[in-house]
Amino acid sequence: MNQAHEQWLSMAENDLEFARLGLKHGYHSQACFLSQQAAEKALMRRVSPRI
């Protein structure tokens, strides 16, 4: 796996962790948004061209 794929995955993991924190503290809308962003970034890792 190349560096770009690792970056997409790292960003997805960061978004998901922050979403979990938001959910824990009652920030439901923000947690939903960040969860969706995490899913998109994880998908980008899978579909971005492999170099």
Could you report the per-residue pLDDT of 3-51, keeping only the tens digit for each? 888 899 999 999 999 999 999 999 999 999 999 999 999 998 888 766 4
- Specify whether the CB–CB gap between 12 and 38 falls below 8 A: yes
Tokens 């970056």 correspond to what residue?
A: 7
- 2 has a pLDDT exceeding 80: no
Task: State residue 5's pLDDT score.
Answer: 83
Q: Residues 16, 34: contact at Cβ < 8 Å?
A: yes
- pTM value is 0.82
